[in-house]
Structure 1
Amino acid sequence: MEMQLATAETIAAIERSEVDYTEDRLLAMQEREGNPEGIELRRFGSALCLYSRTMPWPGFNTVKGLSSDDAGELDAILDFYAARGRKVQFELVPSRVDAPLLEALGDRGFIPSGHHTSMAGPPIEQPLQLPPGVVIRQAGAGDYDAYAAIHCAAFGLPASGIAPVAANNAVLHGRAGWSVWLAEVSGEPAAAAVLYEHGGVASLTFAGTMPAYRGRGLHGLLLRHRLNRAASSGCSLVAGQCAFLSASHRNMERAGLQVAYVRSTWMRRPER
């Protein structure tokens, strides 16, 4: 089965899936008692603004879903972040923005700072034969410390990050649409992956492997496992993001996903 991805409708569905899972994840964090991470979500037109008081990293202080129709909202968006003393980045989908909007960003001191690839395709059933000693299972309520340890190790974060990462992801347990999967090798947690299913779209929201277990194909196994889950759930589209030509990109291609678009990231030009 092949899917023609380069249509405005499909591109909109892929972008909407990313906005949806990001919004729902941050809402779950915001709903923790006392909102300890200081999460705020604000919409300006079609743009969703993300903010965290305790997490200054770009991923938690991002504008998603911005379109050319929102050009008149740019100053209000920038005021939202300026009032909170936070730098902001914009994630832009090529077919959703035009030259006047890009020029308006440039006039306000923003420049392209990076790119990220969105992959998509139908959830085709994948053959899945696990090597000896490898088990894939859904995470239980008591597994989020193990998940967080994988998350931190996979992305080079210090061990001090395990507790907050665990707390900010345990809120997804049992939440509608979310499933977290662990790959174990000889009983030891070795890799993890997350799936969000909503509106007929399955979003591949995270995957990571402990450095000691890389090179064993665990990323690909978890990818195919989630594709099978999406197929059995009746989803019509699978979408995920990755660095261009990364190992994740190649694994997604092997599993039948295609490049849908490459979005750009815009950040304010550094002061000299």
Structure 2
Amino acid sequence: MLCATSDTARLLEEADIIHLTRQVEVCSQFFSGQEIRAQPVGHGIAGVTVTAFGRKLNHVVGFGMGGPVSEDDLAAVERLFAEKRLPIEIDLCPHTDATALEVLALRGYTVNGWINSYVRILTESDLQEVDIPGIQIYRVTPERSDEFPSISVAGYRDGGRLELLLETLARCAVLRPDTHLYFASIDGKIAGSAGLALIETSGGRVAHLYIDSTLPEYRGRGIQAALLKARLSDARKAGYDVASVAARPTSVSSRNIERAGFSLAYTKATFVRSLT
């Protein structure tokens, strides 16, 4: 079990800031005429995109991670989200500066959820080829990248999320230069997909695993586990020592992540304040 230090938290939170920033920047290419931006706030970043997307591309990460924050910092967040008629959601790392909790309490924020941040130290053992009977994992070539959005959306479709959001997230992954895409197949048929972002921060490099999805008819057959192992192997081959991934507590994904050797670095609380 890895004990997350403040240095580890700063590394992972900076990677989260870069990840959200890049998602928002690519997203802006798809919706001309709309106010879409990633704005620095309180040492972190606030992503604001399409209102209908909800918190997935409209939230704050890294708040207070670089030092003290004030009510003015939080007021800037509130003005930004008010312009889009969006409820404010701030994913707060427990290693943030103490002033972050103070100003959130002063301005009436409450917690409505939790997100686990997992980390894994990559070793030479991760260089071994992934061999899971019946499942083939391969990197998506540029010639097949146009297939990725429809496969990704199909894997999420029964989860209740807006299809336009799912398609946008997948299209963002396709266009990001830092992201490698993967397909998993069974008996020659695509069964799942995933992404791997290779992110360079000021404190080191982080291989961030994201946008995993498995088609409903193939769930329970080890698809996510195989995709996790393949990406960890590729990240190590690329010279990365640290991998990260996020998941909701007690979810199927969190259990698969822990089985893949990840340790819980910390749990972030989502602080919210509804529009008034």
Superposition TM-score, scaled by structure 2 size = 0.85
1:72-221 alignment to 2 at 5 Å? 72-98=72-98, 100-124=99-123, 125=126, 128-132=130-134, 134-139=135-140, 140-153=144-157, 155-157=159-161, 161=163, 165-166=166-167, 168-173=169-174, 175-199=176-200, 200-221=205-226
> CA offset at residue 45 of structure 1?
3.6
Which whole-Å CA distance do the structure 1 matches of 2:21 and 2:174 have between them? 16
Check conservation: 2:138, 2:184, Cα contact below 8 A. yes
Which whole-Å CA distance do the structure 1 matches of 2:272 and 2:175 have between them? 35
CA distance 1:262–1:228, shift in 2 (3 Å): same
Equivalent residue, structure 2, for 1:26:
24
Equivalent residue, structure 2, for 1:240:
245
> CA offset at residue 270 of structure 1?
8.9
RMSD of aligned residue pairs (Cα, Å):
2.4
One-letter amino acid of the counterpart of residue 169, structure 1:
A
Which whole-Å CA distance do the structure 1 matches of 2:129 and 2:259 have between them? 12
Which whole-Å CA distance do the structure 1 matches of 2:181 and 2:12 have between them? 21
Check conservation: 2:46, 2:61, Cα contact below 8 A. yes
Which whole-Å CA distance do the structure 1 matches of 2:50 and 2:274 have between them? 23
One-letter amino acid of the counterpart of residue 239, structure 1:
S
One-letter amino acid of the counterpart of residue 145, structure 2:
A
Equivalent residue, structure 2, for 1:70:
69
One-letter amino acid of the counterpart of residue 180, structure 2:
S
CA distance 1:229–1:36, shift in 2 (3 Å): farther
1:51 aligns with 2:48: yes
Number of aligned residues: 263
* SS of residue matched to 1:231: helix
Which ranges in structure 1 are unaligned for 5 or more consecutive residues? none
Which whole-Å CA distance do the structure 2 matches of 1:143 and 1:204 have between them? 19
Question: Percent same amino acid among aligned pairs?
Answer: 23
Runs of 4+ off more than 4 Å: none
Equivalent residue, structure 2, for 1:42:
39
Which ranges in structure 2 are unaligned for 5 or more consecutive residues? none
Deviations 1:116-173 (A, max 9, x none): 11110112315621323x3222232221343333343263346xx2x66445533433
> CA offset at residue 54 of structure 1?
4.3
> CA offset at residue 257 of structure 1?
1.3
> CA offset at residue 108 of structure 1?
2.0
Check conservation: 1:49, 1:63, Cα contact below 8 A. yes
Which whole-Å CA distance do the structure 1 matches of 2:155 and 2:43 have between them? 31
